[in-house]
Chain A
Amino acid sequence: MKGRVITFWLLFGGALLAFLSINSFYGLLLTKREPFLAIIAGINSAIYFLGLSEKRSDLRKRYSHLLVGSFFSYILSIYQVLVLLSIWLEGLLSSTCLLVFDELNLPLIISGFALSFLFDFAKKQFETNNL
C-alpha cells in the first residue's frame, strides 16, 4: 500500500469513528445516547488521526496506527455484540423482548466488523515483513 493510500485509510477510519462517537454521544442514528461509549469511540478515532501526525515517509509507524485502530474498532463491535447478547438473555429470562433498535448501535457493529478486514491487511504487512 502506498503512503497516500494509508493516509486515506487513516483519515477514513478517524472520520468514521469520530462520526460514530458523535452519533453515540447524542443518540442520533440507530442508537441510544451513550456518552461513555462515545468517549471510547473518540479514543479509537484519535488512534487513527494520530497516525497522520507520523512522518509520511515512515510507513511502519503509520501502519501501526492503522493496525491498532482497526483492531480496536473490531473489539468495540464485539463488545457491543456481547452487550446485546446479555440484553437478549435478560429479556429471555423475563419472557419479554428487551432488544429495541436503538440498543443495537448497528453503525458501530457494522463499522467494526468492516474495519477488521483492514486489520487483517495491516497485520499481513508486518507478518510478511513487507514494510
Chain B
Amino acid sequence: MENQTDAIESKKIKIALLGNPNVGKTSIFNVLTGSRQIVANWPGVTVEKRTGVMKHANHTVDVVDLPGTYTLGATSLDERIARDFLIDERPDVALVIGDAVNLERSLYLLLQVLELRGDVVLAVNAVDEARKAGFDIDKHELSKQLGIPVVLTSAVTGEGIEELKNTLIKSAKSSSHVHYLFTDEIEASLRNLSDRIRGNTSLSAFDKRWLSIKLLERDKEAEKLTGMSLDYDYSIEIAETRYKYIKRILSTSVKGKEKIGWNLSEAIDHVMTHRFLGILIFLAIMYIVFQLTFTISGPLSTMIEDLLSGLGSVVGSWIGIDWLRSLVVDGVIGGVGAILVFVPNIFILFLALGVLEETGYLPRAAFVIDKLMYAMKLSGRSFISLLLGFGCNVSSIMSTRSISEPKERLVTILVSPFISCSARLPVYVLIAGTFFGVNAGIVVFFLYLLSIVVTVLSALLINKLFFKGEPSTLIMELPRYRKPRLTSIVLYTWNKGRHFLEKAGTIILAASVVIWLLTYFPTEGTGSFAATIGKALGPLFVPLGYTWEMITSLVFGIAAKEVIVSSLTTFFGNLSMSGTSLDIMRTIISPEIALSFLVFVLLYVPCMPTLAVIKNETGSYRFVFFSAFYSLAVAYAVALIVRVVGGLL
C-alpha cells in the first residue's frame, strides 16, 4: 500500500505555462526549472519550444513554456501552438501567468483557458512592481471569484515561488472545472449547440461547451472540426461578457491608488517614441552600439591574436614536414584563428543587443521605425524580423512566419539578406581596420546604415514591381522598461554568440582546410587552383578593381561569410587586424577599392544556409534565384558607384 502511494506521489506531472507576451512567463519558467531546460522547436514550425524539469517534494514535473499569446484563437501561429498543446497534450495543470500591473488583459486569456479546461492555476507575477505602483491585490478574493488557486509571485525577488510549486502539485491531483455564465441568449445557444455536438461521437474528446463557444465566435478550426457553420457571429458579445466579468472581479480583488500622472515607462516613451526624436535616438543608440563593438573589442582581439600567433609558432616548431606544417599553421590555426579573433566583436554586439532587448527598448525601435516601414509598404512586424537579421539572416527569415500578410512576408524574406548579419562583421573589422584606421568604426556604422537603406529601397522596388496592396498594421504592446538583469543578458549573449563558435569549429574549419588545399596545390601561390578560380572570374571584376585573391574569397564566402576572412588570411598570409602585416594588401589595393569590396560583401549573394531557408520558407527555387541574382546585381552596382565616387574624391 505504501509503495502504491509512493508510485502515485512520484508520478510525472506535466504543466503548461501560458501568458501574454512580456508578463515574465519565461522568468517564472526559469525559476521553476533552473538550468534543467531544453530549447528546441515546436514540431513542424520554427517557433521556439522550451521545456524544463521541476523537482519538488518528491515529484518530477515537466514544465512546457508555451508561446506568449493574448487569446486562444487560431489566427496566429503562436495561438495555434498554445491551443493545440492544451487540447492534444492535455497537461495536468495549466499555469496562467498574469501581470500584476496589467491584470485585466491577463485575465482575458485566463477566462479562455477556463472555457477550455479545468485544473488551472493563476500566478499573478511582478507583484513587487504592482505594490510599488500602489496596487494591492487580494489573492483570496481573486481566487474565490475565479474559483481557482491564485498565487502572487515575483520572479525577480523569488516571492511566492515555493507557494506556487506547492499549489501546482496540489492542483495536479485535484480535478476542477469552473464555468462563468454569458447572457441568457448566448447561454441558450450554447446549450443548443452542446446538444448537437454531443450527438457526434468523433467529438467526444472535446469539451462541448468550449467547442460551442468557439462556434459562436465563428472560429474557423472549430467549424472545420464540427462541420457546423452558424449564420450569426457572437464574438463581440462574448468578448464584452468576458470583459464585464473581469471588471467585476477586479473591482473587489484589486485596490490601488487612483492613477494621477504618468509612470516612468510612459514618461520615457513620450520622448523615445517622439516623432522626430524617436528616429534620431534610435540612430544614436545604434551608432553607440557599433562603436562599442569596434573599440572595446580591439584590445581583446589583440590578446586572442597574440595567443593564436604563439600557438602557431609552438605547433609549427613541432612539425618537421613542410606541407603538414603549412596545413596546420596556415590552414587550420590561421584560417580558424582569423575568425576567432573576432569573437569579442560578436559577443559585444550581442551583449549590447541583449541590453536593448532586456530593457524593453527594441519594441520601441520597431514602433518608431513603423512609419518609415509603412512608407516602404512594410510594417513594424517586418522590422522586428529584419532586426533579428543583425544576428543571423536565417533566423530573421524564419521569424517572418509571424507576419500574417503573405505578400508582406515574401517581401520581408527577399530583403532580409541585405541586413548585415554578424558573420559579415569580421570582414568589416578586418578591412576597415586595415584601411581606415581610427575611422574604421564610422565606416562600419555606415555599412550598417547602408544595409538598412538598401533593404527598405529593395522592399519598395519589389512591392512596386510585383505586389500591390497595403501592409498589415502593427499592433504591439510596449512592455514596461526594466532594469536589465545580468544573468538574463549573459544567457542571451551566450545563446546567440555560441552559434559563431560552433561555426568556427565546423564549417569554417572545413572551409579553411579546403582553402588551404586549393591555395597549396598544384603549386603554391599564383599557380594554385584558388588563383585559377579568381583569375577566371577576373574579367567580370575589372571595373571594380578586385584582385584574384579578393574574387576567390568572395566565391568561398558564399558558403559562410566569415570564410572571406579565412580566405584573405590564407591568400595574403598572416593578416592581422592590428595592422602589423597588412602592408601587402595596402600596396595592392586603394582605400576606395577596399570600401567598394566591403559594400560588395555586405550586399552580394546570401550565404548557402540563407538560400536554403529561402527555399524552405517560400517553397520555390524561383525566389532563391531571384534573391541570388538580384543581390548580386545590387552589390555590383553599389560597389561600382562607391569605387567611382571614391576615386573622384
Residues in chain A within 8 A of chain B (CB atoms): 36, 39-40, 43-44, 46-47, 50, 60-61, 63-65, 67-69, 72, 75, 79, 82-83, 85-87, 89-90, 92-93, 123, 126-127, 129-131
Q: Which of A50, A60, A86, A123 contacts B299 (CB 8 A)?
A: A86
Does B263 have its Cβ within 8 Å of any Cβ on chain A? yes
Q: Which A residues are in CB contact (< 8 Å) with B488?
A: none
With contacts A43-B280, A50-B277, A72-B281 taken as known, whether A93 is within 8 angstroms of B303 at the C-beta atoms is yes
B298 touching A90, Cβ below 8 Å? yes
Between-chain CB contacts (< 8 Å), 9 pairs:
A36-B445, A40-B287, A40-B288, A60-B261, A79-B291, A86-B297, A89-B300, A90-B298, A93-B299
Does B274 have its Cβ within 8 Å of any Cβ on chain A? yes
Q: Bound state CA distance, A87 and B257, in angstroms?
A: 50
Q: Bound state CA distance, A123 and B262, in angstroms?
A: 11
Residue of A nearest to B267 (CB): A64
Give 5 A-B pairs besides A39-B284, A47-B271, A68-B267 with Cβ atoms closer than 8 angstroms. A64-B262, A64-B268, A83-B296, A129-B134, A131-B260
Q: Which of B271, B291, B303 contacts A65 (CB 8 A)?
A: B271
Q: Which A residues are in CB contact (< 8 Å) with B260?
A: 129, 131
Q: Which A residues are in CB contact (< 8 Å) with B257?
A: 129
Q: Which A residues are in CB contact (< 8 Å) with B299?
A: 86, 89-90, 92-93
With contacts A79-B292, A93-B299 taken as known, whether A68 is within 8 angstroms of B261 at the C-beta atoms is no
Within B284-313, the residues touching A (CB, 8 Å) are 284, 287-288, 291-292, 295-300, 302-303, 306
A46 touching B280, Cβ below 8 Å? yes
A60 touching B267, Cβ below 8 Å? yes
- Contact residue range for chain B? 35 or more
Q: Bound state CA distance, A56 and B260, in angstroms?
A: 18
B281 touching A47, Cβ below 8 Å? yes
B396 to chain A, nearest CB (A): 27
- The 8 tightest CB contacts between A and B, nearest first, are A89-B299, A68-B271, A64-B267, A64-B270, A131-B261, A90-B299, A43-B280, A86-B296
Q: Bound state CA distance, A75 and B134, in angstroms?
A: 30
Q: Which A residues are in CB contact (< 8 Å) with B270?
A: 60-61, 64-65
Does B272 have its Cβ within 8 Å of any Cβ on chain A? yes
Q: Which A residues are in CB contact (< 8 Å) with B306?
A: 93
* 0/1 interface trace, chain B 234-271, chain A, CB 8 Å (1 if under): 00000000000000000000000100111110011011
Q: Which B residues are in CB contact (< 8 Å) with A67?
A: 264, 267-268, 271
Q: Which of A68, A85, A130 contacts B268 (CB 8 A)?
A: A68
**Most chain A C-beta atoms within 10 Å of own C-beta, residue among B270, B274, B296, B298:** B270
A72 to chain B, nearest CB (A): 7
A69 to chain B, nearest CB (A): 8
Q: Which B residues are in CB contact (< 8 Å) with A46?
A: 276-277, 280
A10 to chain B, nearest CB (A): 12
Q: Which A residues are in CB contact (< 8 Å) with B300?
A: 89
Q: Bound state CA distance, A63 and B297, in angstroms?
A: 37
Q: Which of B271, B281, B284, B295 contacts A83 (CB 8 A)?
A: B295
B280 touching A75, Cβ below 8 Å? no
Q: Which of B263, B276, B302, B445 contacts A126 (CB 8 A)?
A: B263
B281 touching A36, Cβ below 8 Å? no
Q: Bound state CA distance, A9 and B574, in angstroms?
A: 55
